[in-house]
Amino acid sequence: MWNPKNFKGHVNPHEVMQAISTASYKMFKIGEQKDPALFLSWLLNSLHSYISTKKKDNIISDLFRGSLLTRTENLMSKEAAMKKELSISDGKDTPKPFWMLSLDLPNVPLYKEGSGELITIPQTSLETLFNKFDGKTPTDDTRAGTRTTYKIVKLPKYLILAIKRFVKNDFFVEKNNTLVSFTLKDIDLSHCKTELKIIYVVDVDHKEKGKSYKYSLIAQIVHDGKPVSGTYKTHVLQKVTGQWIEIQDLNVLPIMQQMVSLSEAYMLVLEMQ
């Protein structure tokens, strides 16, 4: 897009989509809605691979790639794991790079306990969801019979978060409408709360230990409607004016700042301050 040999200083959206359709072998194309998390993962991996040289790092990895430690333990016996052809974990910490972090929403009951009344739309905080990465809170996979803990050891300049709103079962796809509350600025991931154990993020690239990692929201993708027939919209901050804008296909409209935090966020893009 910034090629100095280009006749124009911008690229038509249709040209971008045609290039994406060709590069992805029509996995992503005009007129067919896809999961934004799947697309963004493909885009970052493709750009990273395309501009990679003999060095492993480039502008994409420098800006977007973080690192975490995972520890997986088996909940089933060795005999049961062997029957399911699962490997037995030794419980050691395994470092893994990431382009984005997945946040799990709490399960939503359909009715209030002991009554037939429908419950209101539940709400949780971004800080609560980040307990997943404190190195202590376990994430259980009942199908695989494993329990995993995650601990962030490096945060990127631009942190991408994917909120798991959709759950597939044997019959249909369910959507979790839980609202995630957060501030648009000064999202402190180093000491959000005393019980949040990502408090002291270790970053080998920085000499300052215990550095405060504060982020601001610069974009988010929201989902409106039912799981299958719903639509995605993007909210982007225009930094020069401080105005938030809503984008859906070629439709671009201003949006109030209050509506950004009240939307059913599906993906968040945070910029380190």
The predicted model scores a pTM of 0.82
In a domain, 222, yes or no: yes
Give the model's pLDDT for residue 203.
Answer: 46
pLDDT of residue 140 exceeding 60, the answer is yes
* 84 located within any domain: yes
Mean pLDDT of 227-244: 93
Question: pLDDT at position 238, please?
Answer: 94
Establish if 8 belongs to a structural domain. no
pLDDT at 114 over 60: no
Q: How many domains does the chain have?
A: 1
pLDDT score at 21? 95
| % of the chain exceeding 70 in pLDDT | 79
Q: Answer whether residue 47 is part of any domain.
A: yes
Q: Indicate the pLDDT class of residue 76, thresholds 50, 70 and 90.
A: low
Q: How high is the pLDDT of residue 83?
A: 53
What's residue 111's pLDDT?
56
Residue 195, domain member (yes or no): yes
Residue range 128-144: mean pLDDT, rounded: 83
168 assigned to some structural domain: yes
Q: Could you list the residue range(s) of the whole structural domain that residue 78 is in?
A: 33-272
Comparison of pLDDT for 121 and 225, the residue scoring more: 225
Identify whether 190 is part of a domain: yes
Domain-embedded: residue 17: no
Residue-wise DSSP of the chain:
---TT-SSSS--HHHHHHHHHHHTTTSS-TT----HHHHHHHHHHHHHHHH--SSS--HHHHHH-EEEEEEEEESS-HHHHHHTTPPPP----EEEEESEEEEEPPP--SB-TTS-PBPPPPEEEHHHHGGGGBSSS-EEETTTTEEEEEEEEE--SEEEEEEE-EEE-SS-EEE---EEE--SS-EESSSSSTT-TTSS---TT-S-TT---EEEEEEEEEEESSTTT-EEEEEEEETTTTEEEEEETTEEEEE-HHHHHTS-EEEEEEEE-
**Which CATH number covers residue 198?**
3.90.70.10
